[in-house]
Structure 1
Amino acid sequence: MPMINVQMFEGRTTEQRRKLAKELTDATCRALDCTPDAVQIILTDVKKENWAEAGKLFSD
């Protein structure tokens, strides 16, 4: 069973999250020839002060 973890900045609407889950599920089913009920997705919101790139926080 495929499990997909998505980490993204806070601020997405429920509708955006719903659309992302649907699109990821559809793409996974096409690529892996599985049924939608086999796909699990975890969406995690991350605050910008908890995410860094190249040594800098995104909140800076």
Structure 2
Amino acid sequence: MPTVIVNMWPGRDDNAKRRIVEGITKVFENEKVPRDAVEILLFEVPKNHWASGGKLYSDQL
């Protein structure tokens, strides 16, 4: 069973999250994986908890 972990910034509503998980699930269905076997974890990480190049995203954007 594939497990997909999605880290994203907060702010998407439930409908957007539904579209994301449906799209990810379809990718696996195209590879003949049963949709019930696909697990997806969505994590909303605040920009001040996420960094790149030694700088917080909250300081970059």
TM-score range with shorter-chain normalisation? over 0.9
Task: Give me the TM-score of the superposition, normalised by structure 2.
Answer: 0.92
Q: Distance in 2 between matches of 1:53 and 1:29?
A: 33
> May I ask how many residue pairs the two structures share in their alignment?
59
Give the RMSD, CA atoms, in angstroms: 0.6
| Percent of residue pairs identical | 37
Aligned residue number for residue 47 of structure 1: 46
SS at match of 1:25: helix
Gaps of 5+ in 1: none
Q: Which amino acid aligns with 2:17?
A: R
Task: Give me the TM-score of the superposition, normalised by structure 1.
Answer: 0.94
Gaps of 5+ in 2: none
**Alpha-carbon offset, residue 29 of structure 1:** 1.6
Aligned residue number for residue 7 of structure 1: 7
Aligned residue number for residue 30 of structure 1: 30
**Alpha-carbon offset, residue 34 of structure 1:** 1.1
Q: Which amino acid aligns with 1:15?
A: N
